Amino acid sequence: MKRDASKKAVPLSVGADVSGMETLLNRNLPEVFGEGDPARRRAAIRELYTEDCVLCVPPGTFVGRNALDKFAGDLRATHPHYVYTPHGAPQVLHNSGRLAWGSGPKGETPRYTGMDFIIAREGKIAALYVYLDAPPT
């Protein structure tokens, strides 16, 4: 894309709530996917996600908070002792962000890693795309 040289360049995330987006990414890992208590997980989902949120993960696409809660709870049940650890700081661009992470038993090398990409709307996650580097073992 060409820019008119006479126009002043604008930072890519001008107007974006960068710290709010970083907070969404950082809270999502432990409070939604790492939370074993269903009531606390549902409360976090209500706080962090839009009602019509979309979750795109290797097994499929899930729409709405209830579907997200079921998926996160089912996933948590397969690895109840795993923790999610951010690998680096979140990166934000306009209303989107990404965060690399690893998951495995606390204090051990992650058993699998991935990256979350989010699209936010009105300060909440409207879409989460989860990319896995390798499937969980």
> What is the rounded distance in angstroms from the CA atom of residue 46 to the CA atom of residue 31?
11
The range of the structural domain enclosing residue 30 comes to: 18-132
Amino acid of residue 81: H
**Residue 77: CB atoms within 10 Å:** 9
CATH number at residue 54: 3.10.450.50
Cα separations (Å) of 128 from 2, 58, 87? 30, 12, 18
pLDDT digits (tens, 9 = 90+) for 12-30: 455 567 889 999 999 999 9
| Tally of domains within the chain | 1
pLDDT digits (tens, 9 = 90+) for 53-111: 999 999 999 999 999 999 999 999 999 999 999 999 999 999 999 999 999 999 999 99
Q: Is 2 domain-assigned?
A: no
